[in-house]
Amino acid sequence: MKPDEIIKKTLPIINEHDCRPLQLEYLLEKADISSDVFFQYFAGVDDLLSEAFSQLCEGANALAEEIDQPSFSLEKLFRVIVRIFKLQFRYRYLMVNLTNLIQSNETIKDKYLELTALRKAQFIHLFSTLEKEGYFYKEKFPGNFENLSVQIMMLSDYWLSHNLAVFGANDIQFSYYSKLIFSTVLPYLTDKGLDAFKNTLGYN
């Protein structure tokens, strides 16, 4: 059994725990994985979570590459947001416990900081591109696009916690939260951008 297979088998069990602590014995028993096999690749639960977080980051980066292009559209941005949310849901234990994991796991903290720095640069590039193509107004003050990128990342990182608190675990509102985060660009849109926004959401 390879490390990826261990993560694939244990992840659904990990996700069932919400905010509860993970017990390795229980995890391996439920996943039908021997401790000998597990310890060939992982030092413990923290190590397993670190590798799972690496997978999440790789998947998110692959999707985000679509927004880091010479030409882009608001419709594609919305589609990427939806796909990233669905990816986050597959790793929902990590997202719901993100703050605690960052504080307790240095590997996850380092990967998270690396991820956010990259994502901020990608968003700023995207907004600058949309400005050049006439969809966005120019920055009204220096750092405006940087602030918007941080707002989007904050909402993206914690939408699932809000969903669980408000709607519950059996009602995951991908569409609601995708539109909510997408709407953060509204104050920056020109008339051309507003038309594209409405077309993306089917309002025209």
3 in any annotated domain: no
pLDDT band (50, 70, 90) for residue 116: very high
161 in any annotated domain: yes
Query: Is the pTM value of this prediction over 0.85?
Result: yes
183 in any annotated domain: yes
| Full residue range of the structural domain in which residue 178 is found | 57-201
Task: Say how many domains are in the chain.
Answer: 1
Residue 97 token pair = 């416990």
pLDDT band (50, 70, 90) for residue 1: confident
- Residue 55: closest CA among 94, 104, 28, 103: 94
162 in any annotated domain: yes
**Rounded CA gap, 51 and 61, in Å?**
15
Predicted pLDDT of residue 188: 97
* pLDDT surpasses 90 at 198: yes
CATH of the domain at 93: 1.10.357.10
Residue 162 token pair = 């809000």
35 in any annotated domain: no
Please compute the mean of the pLDDT values over residues 182-195 and round it to a whole number.
96
pLDDT digits (tens, 9 = 90+) for 130-146: 999 999 999 989 999 99
49 in any annotated domain: no
12 in any annotated domain: no
pLDDT digits (tens, 9 = 90+) for 23-47: 899 999 999 999 999 999 999 999 9
61 in any annotated domain: yes
Predicted pLDDT of residue 19: 64
Share of the chain above pLDDT 90, in %: 85
Please compute the mean of the pLDDT values over residues 74-100 and round it to a whole number.
94
